[in-house]
Amino acid sequence: MPTGVAMRDAREQLFDAAERVLLREGPDALTSRAVTTEAGCAKGVLHKHFTDFDGFLAELVIDRIRRLEGQAEVLRASVGQGSVVDNLTGLLTELFASVAVAIISLTISRDGLRARLREAVPTGVPILTEAGRHVREYLAAEQGLGRIAAEADLDGLGLSLIGSAHMIFADRTGARPNETDVRRLVSSILAR
């Protein structure tokens, strides 16, 4: 982009560019140069809007965590509707088929990013922690309706669902799990 031409919604364009690089090439390829090249702008644009690259990445992760709220809203609206397995399958498939797996890898691989995120998300792995909270809240609501056994360990179920779904989606080189794979996983965990 030539100097002097304003970018509309520069932050969002940079976030979207980072997401494309993450999905296409993985966290190791994510550099400020890769992001600005993908966004079609000068490197200085990123530094105009963010203190440094780790600051940019922290805001990207926090923005994507906020987007998780929309998925959680759909899950909350499904309480008492359809099957519990189908509702959880839909959330987990949508969550992990998105950029979430790449963001988890990015967060794990960058010490500076993790340090920045600790201010906003003090425990756990960002995105996984929030997704786990939404799943546990959903399970509790379904338990209140009697659709989950009263004696079920909701924390254990939530961690098992999030952790297991992350594991089947984490391999960037193999075939992506489909909805049937996720449904089978959810069914087996809830059957315990």
The percentage of the chain sitting over the pLDDT mark of 70, rounded to a whole number, equals 96
Q: What was the pLDDT predicted at 6?
A: 54
In Å, what is the CA distance from 153 to each residue of 14, 55, 93?
41, 37, 23
Q: Which CATH class is domain 1-49?
A: mainly alpha
CATH of domain 61-190: 1.10.357.10
Comparing 9-18, 89-98, 116-125, the range with the smallest average pLDDT is: 116-125
Nearest Cα to Cα of residue 23 among 135, 113, 76, 100: 100
Query: Is the pLDDT reported for residue 56 higher than 90?
Result: yes
Dump pLDDT digits (tens) for 142-163: 999 999 999 999 999 999 999 9
State the amino acid at position 140 in one-letter form.
Answer: A
Residue with more model confidence, 128 or 37: 37
Nearest Cα to Cα of residue 135 among 186, 75, 188: 75
Q: What was the pLDDT predicted at 17?
A: 96
Residue with more model confidence, 91 or 7: 91
Query: Is the pLDDT reported for residue 46 higher than 90?
Result: yes
Residue ranges covered by each domain of the chain:
1-49, 61-190
pLDDT band at 64 (very low <50, low <70, confident <90, very high): confident
